[in-house]
Copies of this chain bind each other. A is one copy, B any other.
Amino acid sequence: MASSDTDRGPIAAGAAPAALPSGVTRELARYIVQARYDDLPAAVRKEGLRTLVNWVGVAVGGSHHETIDKAVAALAPFSGASHASVLGRTERFDIMNAAFINGVSSHIFDFDDTHLKTIIHPAAPVAPAILAFSEYRSVPGSEFLNALILGVETECRIGNAVYPDHYDRGWHITGTCGVFGTAVAMGKLLGLTEQQMVWALGLAASQPVGFRESFGSMNKSFNPGRAAHNGMTAAVLAAAGFTSSDEMIEARRGWASTISTRQDFREITGELGQRYESLLNTYKPFACGVVLHPAIDAAIQLRNRFGLKVDQIDRIALQVNPLVLELTGKKTPNTGLDGKFSVYHAVAVALVEGVAGEKQFSDRAVCDPVVLALRPKVVPTADRSVKAEQVDCRITLIDGRTVHTRIEHATGSAESPLSDGALEAKVLGLAEGILAQPQARRLLDACWNIEKLPSAAAVAEAAIPR
């Protein structure tokens, strides 16, 4: 006869554990409950707007991928009242299913925002939940932005506390930490008390999502979408008085100790309201892994600076960090997805088209004869002295001239953030073929101006094709 799991038995874990702190979950909950929009520094608000702008772009952009077609077909029979929109489409779902679908959509292209310290994609779980809720119950735009920023702050801080061990072990950190961000953002809009927020965090902790083994399948995008659903469920239950532990994050058999070999709880509760992880959010200019970004950036810069035409180019010599060849060394990619793992394709298509968005990593693009002709002229050389964020690029022209640049920090990194204009161009590119351009423009305006909007639902309304 084994002991029951109701027993508070002395079943020992492997190693003698270090002393654990108490009050982490409660301290975080208290901060979230008390944090007001008016307390946010201007720079934090601005970064929140950029996070929102980037997110609507990727959510609309992914909305007609087969992943979404399948999710919509699978879940429609079980959806509740049509309170919320699927961005970029005309179907409507209950707020939980809509949050799930929009969360999946925004991660499909791996083109969403990134908190580089943890590789969390912060918006994908949080934004779809609170946007769907805003269509159900009116939420002033400033409250929406406050919730979004607090959600991002929460998930990134919790991620910091367990990164890198948690990620190295195999967890898809966006899905495991994202659920906390969603729960507190939703909890904020639901007006939870401190105790309810503690329970929401506990119920959220109980629902981590995703392993890195999912990468390369639809399951990867599933993870942030399900984190949105889970966090929303946690907050809605807590609002009704559904209880949890008071110390789910920090307890011996709670989240952090069970899910990671390393925990630094000061990352969660240190300097709350003073240090903002959400300020470190970044936005990819190129629709592929960041390891390729310096090379693409260099190619586009030289193309634009010297007005290069493809038929002028004889050779593109790149000195790259060894990771570039290790991770993206495919010489003859056959699909758009393969193209994301080919430095040859990425640099060639960037020189041909001047951008490297999702359309440049399509099946069409990897078969384009002009790109194919340029591909063998891309000659990368691994060089240990070149850091991952650097590249040296020298293009030799048919006439013998050479042009050269060296990138220290690629555009889109924390050191060289994407400009607001480039962010807008990215969103407009993603919306192309889904929203008419004037409507895409209105969508951008709704996001940039959300602080003044009486209802955040205007963002969702502007993201539906008319």
Residues of B within 8 A of A413 (CB): 1
**B209–A222 CB distance below 8 A:** no
Min distance, Cβ A91 to any Cβ of chain B, angstroms = 14
**A4–B114 CB distance below 8 A:** yes
**B13–A213 CB distance below 8 A:** no
A404 at the interface (CB under 8 A from B): no
Bound Cα distance A413, B4 (Å)? 12
A31 at the interface (CB under 8 A from B): no
Residues of B within 8 A of A13 (CB): 168-170
A208 at the interface (CB under 8 A from B): yes
A244 at the interface (CB under 8 A from B): yes
A308 at the interface (CB under 8 A from B): no
**A119–B3 CB distance below 8 A:** yes
Query: How many protomers of this protein does the assembly include?
Result: 2
Min distance, Cβ A107 to any Cβ of chain B, angstroms = 10
Question: Which A residues between 83 and 136 are near B, CB-CB below 8 angstroms?
Answer: 94-96, 110, 114, 116-117, 119, 121
Residues of B within 8 A of A114 (CB): 4
A445 at the interface (CB under 8 A from B): no
A419 at the interface (CB under 8 A from B): no
A217 at the interface (CB under 8 A from B): yes
A181-206 CB contact bits vs B (8 Å, 1 = yes)? Answer: 00000000000000000010011011
Across the interface, name the chain B residue whose C-beta is closest to A10: B326
**B253–A170 CB distance below 8 A:** yes
Residues of B within 8 A of A251 (CB): 211, 213
Q: Which of B174, B237, B243, B255 contacts A5 (CB 8 A)?
A: B174
Q: Which of B78, B205, B230 contacts A95 (CB 8 A)?
A: B78
Q: Kindly state the interface size class of chain A when it binds its partner.
A: 35 or more
A1-37 CB contact bits vs B (8 Å, 1 = yes)? Answer: 1111111111111100000000000000000000000
A370 at the interface (CB under 8 A from B): no
**A117–B2 CB distance below 8 A:** yes
**B217–A211 CB distance below 8 A:** no
Binds B, one of A53-61, A283-291, A351-359: A283-291
A74 at the interface (CB under 8 A from B): yes
**A1–B261 CB distance below 8 A:** no
- Decide if the interface of chain A is mainly helix, strand, loop or mixed: loop
Bound Cα distance A205, B114 (Å)? 25
A140 at the interface (CB under 8 A from B): no
**A110–B4 CB distance below 8 A:** yes
Across the interface, name the chain B residue whose C-beta is closest to A206: B210
Min distance, Cβ A206 to any Cβ of chain B, angstroms = 5
**B233–A226 CB distance below 8 A:** yes
Knowing A214-B248, A217-B245, A254-B211 are in contact, say whether A240-B175 is a contact too (CB < 8 A): no
A332 at the interface (CB under 8 A from B): no
A273 at the interface (CB under 8 A from B): no
A258 at the interface (CB under 8 A from B): yes
Residues of B within 8 A of A219 (CB): 199, 202-203, 206, 242-245, 248
Chosen A-B contacts, 19 in total, with CB atoms closer than 8 Å, are A1-B388, A2-B117, A2-B290, A3-B327, A3-B388, A5-B173, A5-B212, A11-B167, A14-B168, A70-B237, A79-B80, A169-B253, A170-B257, A170-B258, A175-B206, A202-B213, A207-B226, A211-B251, A226-B233
- Closest 10 A/B residue pairs (Cβ): A170-B258, A170-B253, A1-B389, A74-B240, A213-B254, A219-B244, A4-B289, A212-B253, A80-B80, A213-B251
